[in-house]
Structure formats: C-alpha cells, structure tokens
Amino acid sequence: MSYDRAITVFSPDGHLIQVEYALEAVKKGTTAVGVKGKDVLVLGVEKKSTAKLQDPRTVRKIVQIDDHICMTFAGLTADSRILINKARFECQSYKYYYEDPIGVEYITRYIAKTQQKYTQSVGVRPFGVSTLIVGYDSKGFPKLYQTDPSGNFSSWKASCIGRSEKPVKEFLEKNYVDEMDEEQTVRLTIQSLVEVVESGEKNIDIAIMRKNKPIEFLGRTRIAEIVKEFEEEKKRKEEED
C-alpha cells in the first residue's frame, strides 16, 4: 500500500492532519478583520512590515474580485493569489453565462469548493489561506463570509482571521452592536486592529465597501486621526481611574 497517493489522508482519530496544519499556517499570517454594519462593510488588514528597501505599495492584501465584491485573506500570500485569480475568473464566467453579476454567497461557495477540492485530490496540498469575502447580495443587504482551508464557509456579522484571531474576536464579541452606521463600523474595525497591530496605524489598511459604489481605501491621515482619538480617549479613561 503506497501512502503517497494523496497528501491529505485521515488520521486514526478521524482528523485531516494536513488541513489542520494548513489552519496553523493561517494562524501565522497577518490579521484581517471584517465588520458588517447596517448598510456598510469594512475590511481591515494588518500589513506585514515591509523591509526598508521594499516598495510597500506592492503588498496589497485587500483585493477586488469583481466590481461589487472584495476579499482579503490570511495565510500564505502565494496560495491566496491562486484563489483570487480563480475567483476573478469565475465572476466573469458567471456574468458571461447569466448576464447578472455574481452573488456574494455564490462566489464564497465557489472559493470554499475550490479549497475543499484540494483536500481531496491527488498530489496537491490544501491552500494555507482563510479568506474574508464582502459584498452586497441581490436584495441589497451587506454580507460578510469567511472560508478556511478545510473548505468550510459561513456568514458572519464580524470576523477575524490570522495571527491575532483570538484577542480580536473577543474584542469584537464584546463591542459589536447590530445596525451600526458607517462611522461606527469603521471605528470598530480600526479599534480592533490597533490593539493587536505592532507599530500602530501605519501598518493598518482599511477598505470600505458601500452599496453600488466602488471600494474605497481609507486615507492614511483619516486612519491616523481616528487612532489618535482612541488614544486620547484611553488616556482620559486612565486618568479618571
């Protein structure tokens, strides 16, 4: 019996060890946060600190999949490139056949299906990537989806992937409220990242997805303003205590 037929095989206690190792790879990646507001979606990413001689603009973690869908990821960047490429192609292919823009859940399903395929195929390893996909569904509601290397996917109000997943998720669970407006959603996203990102706001990227509008990347100055406001508030609270 050759054990090199497939790379992902079951362990005696029913686990897919390779998939779990892939999840470990995700946990090593830089943090990505997604928050759903009443009629807005915000993605925040921790940017990996670039080397001195490296051009920081070439490291982009929030990408557009179609005109109305964006995604970000945590884990192996090179693996994510493949998924992003496949997703982009699928979006155009869908429009080619159905003339309608693709649905957020549809593309999430597709990405998740792709990730699952690679856990049950010969000679390949799973993708070491978890993704956060944002967009508006056909009824106009904002939707946030998460996929992981096992091929699972689910819809979230707010989620986090990557190395600071635990503390950020706890923060979000404590502070998330339904039906937030744009300002509140952006602030919550930035706040959740600022706690865990080393070297502060210079390494945070925020993207806002509004209905029927192209994605907007928040400017550096605006992020710095909001972070400053947090720090001042923090100081005030400490002084009161």
Partner 1 sequence: MDSLVGFVGKNYVLMAGDTNAGRSIMRLKDDFDKLVQIDSHKILAKSGEIGDGNQFCNLIIRNVSLYRIRNETELTTKSVAHYTRRQLATAIRKNPYSVNLLLGGYDKKDQKGSLYYLDYLGSSKKINYGAHGYAALFVGSILDRFWKEDLDFEDGLELMKKCLREVEKRLIIGTRCFLIKMINSDGISVVEKVMINSEKKNEIEEEN
Tell me, rounded to whole angstroms, the distance of Cα 156 from its chain centroid.
11
Contact between 111 and partner 1 (CB under 8 A)? no
Minimum separation from the CB atom of position 65 to partner 1 (A): 7
Token readout for 79 is: 């693996």
Which residue from 48, 86, 95, 157 is in contact with partner 1, where contact means CB under 8 A? 95
Q: How does DSSP assign 209-223, residue by residue? A: EETTS--EEPPHHHH
Should residue 199 be labelled a site residue for partner 1 when binding is judged by CB under 8 A? Answer: no
Site for partner 1 in 53-92 (CB under 8 A): 64-67, 85, 88-89, 91-92
User: Of the two residues 104 and 197, which places its CB atom closer to partner 1 in the complex?
Assistant: 104
The DSSP line for 96-137 is: HHHSSPPPHHHHHHHHHHHHHHTTSSBT-----EEEEEEEE-
Shortest CB 96 distance to partner 1, Å? 4
Beta bridge partners of 34: 43, 159
Tokens of 203: 């390494």
Q: Which is nearer to partner 1, 64 or 155 (CB)?
A: 64
| Shortest Å distance, C-beta 205 to partner 1 | 15
- Please, which residues have CB within 8 angstroms of residue 108's CB and are 6 or more apart in sequence? 133, 145, 147, 153
10 vs 96 by CB, closer to partner 1 = 96
Binding region for partner 1 (CB under 8 A):
64-67, 85, 88-89, 91-93, 95-96
